[in-house]
Chains A and B, each alone.
Chain A
Amino acid sequence: MITGSVLLSSTVCDREAWLIAHQIEPDQFNPFIEIGRLIHTESYKNNQIREISLPGMKIDMIYEQGQMVIVGEIKKSSKFLKGARLQLLYYLNEIKKRQVQAVGKILIPKEKKQITVVLDEQSIDELNQAIKNAEKIISLPRPPQRKKSSFCSKCGYEEFCWS
């Protein structure tokens, strides 16, 4: 099943996308995953902002600003912006299907950065292209071959892939 995190990971590593799509979750004891969790829970603790879960989506925060609905996605660093953008576009599109217009924001607390993401015609094309690509990967009968890259050492699947 295509989800936000499958799309996100498909920009980094096909194998990771396949594993996530088949519910083979990464190592829960990996320190980097632990850090990610902490950033999520600590950074925006005091704002009264909701975290919501919908099928295929785990939205970090959703809130109203004036007339606008804002969907916020918190990231550790601006390293994976492309994936984060796709993930947000996916959420915005899913929300639109439910008749809500929203604008996305990638929030990087550590770098004090906010990047706005808008769902326009061009980005919808981009999203559809990415979904097609991800669907192709996850329909493979077995995981795509592991490939050593600089991501591996910070990836939750490192011990799985390289054991």
Chain B
Amino acid sequence: MAEPIYIFSDGILRRKENTIVLETSEGKRHIPVENVAEIKIFSEVDLNKRLLEFLTEKNISVHFFNHFGYYIGSYYPREFLNSGLVILKQAENYLNEKKRLFLAKMFVEGALLNIINNLKNYNENYRFSDKIRIIKEHVDKLTMCYDVEQLMALEGNAREVYYNCFDEIIKSNDFTFNSRTKRPPENELNALISFGNSLLYTTVLSEIYKTHLDPRIGYLHSTNNRRFTLNLDIAEIFKPIIVDRLIFTLINRRQIKTSDFHQISGGISMKENAKKLFVQSFEERLKDTIQHKQLKRQVSYRSLIRMEIYKIEKHILEDQEYEPYIG
């Protein structure tokens, strides 16, 4: 099975015959290309066109992150699956406002229902019952939204209610949430959320690459100023299930502590070891399996993400109406 490759040390990445070689001050590491699903780079790496050509041939995408662990951009090779019909239908679902709103609503609904399930997991002594009720009310109001901006606003409000519960979910007093700050994250918890979300965005992007959908056409996140948006839409559904739960576990088990962060100019950043631990736990989480009702077998969270993309493909083909995954 091909695996994602994470690179944390500075060096040169090049092609050597049928392998990718990473040269660092510590030496050379050969990576057979068959074992590579995607590459995520967190350090200073030099690479050349010959390597990009090789990666294109092997359908491998590369995602780049800066020193804070924020997503910078991706090398997304030429599509290898192409269906004119799918692209036409995908665009049609964007241009037709009613159709666009339907999908956008489903993404928000999926996100909020998964948020509610997270809160239910931590609802000892009914401490979150009120919050759960409020978020449910937001879900009910989704049907009344008549444009994407309203949906976004409603989601934002519900998310704030959710974030307010974080300080209680997290047992460690060292981590406090205050409010969500993104660029830059102003405290450790925000840095963790940003880092985890970036990992998820790129994972979803790599999965979209294996389908016929174009990641540039999203429905909730507008297509105007970003290159890839469909991955952001789909990630909404999985953020609570994958990223948030992972953060709660890592902090509550004291695997990540505030000493794993440091202030660098412009914001707070995770130290390299913490990034590595996070990435490893993130990948383990993607390999966790659940029993799939229709397929009647175990499937990993990573396949679940790909199947979510298939569900959208089926929706735009008017095959089956889309319903988000609720875990």
B-contacting residues of A (Cβ < 8 Å)?
Answer: 22-25, 27-29, 141-143, 158-160, 162-163
Contacts and interface: CB of A to CB of B under 8 A. Distances in A.
Contacts of A142: 317-319
Report the interface size class on chain B: 20 to 34
A22 B83 CA distance: 7
A158 B311 CA distance: 12
A143 B85 CA distance: 12
Interface in B300-322: 303, 306-308, 310-311, 313-314, 317-319
A66 B81 CA distance: 41
A91 B77 CA distance: 34
Contacts of B82: 23
A28 B81 contact: yes
Contacts of B86: 22, 24
Nearest to A162: B294
B310 A23 contact: no
List 6 tightest A-B contacts by C-beta distance, closest first.
A163-B307, A23-B83, A162-B294, A163-B310, A142-B318, A160-B310
Interface of B: 81-86, 210, 212, 292, 294-295, 303, 306-308, 310-311, 313-314, 317-319
Contact of B310 (A28, A143, A159): A159
B212 A24 contact: yes
B308 A163 contact: yes
B315 to A, nearest CB: 11
Nearest to B312: A163
Q: Which of A23, A159, A163 has the most CB of B within 10 A?
A: A163
A143 B315 CA distance: 11
Contact of B295 (A25, A27, A159): A159
Given A29-B210, A142-B318, A23 B307 contact: no
B317 to A, nearest CB: 6
A1 B263 CA distance: 60
Nearest to A25: B81
Contacts of A159: 295, 303, 306-307, 310
Contacts of A143: 314, 317, 319
The binding surface of chain A is classed by DSSP as loop
A25 B83 CA distance: 8
The interface centre, meaning the residue of A24, A27, A142, A162 with most chain B CB atoms within 10 A of its CB, is: A24
A163 B294 contact: yes
A149 B303 CA distance: 22
Nearest to B319: A143
Contacts of A160: 310, 313-314
Contacts of A24: 83, 85-86, 212, 313
A25 B81 CA distance: 7
Contacts of A162: 292, 294-295
B19 to A, nearest CB: 20
A115 B240 CA distance: 56
A23 B84 contact: yes
Nearest to B81: A25
Nearest to B306: A159
Nearest to A21: B85
A27 B210 CA distance: 8
A27 B212 CA distance: 10
Given A158-B295, A160-B310, A28 B210 contact: yes
Contacts of B85: 22-24
A163 B84 CA distance: 22
B24 to A, nearest CB: 30
Given A24-B86, A141-B318, A142-B319, 4 more contacts: A23-B85, A28-B81, A29-B210, A160-B314
13 contacts: A23-B83, A23-B84, A24-B212, A143-B314, A158-B295, A159-B295, A159-B303, A159-B307, A159-B310, A160-B310, A163-B308, A163-B310, A163-B311
A29 B300 CA distance: 14
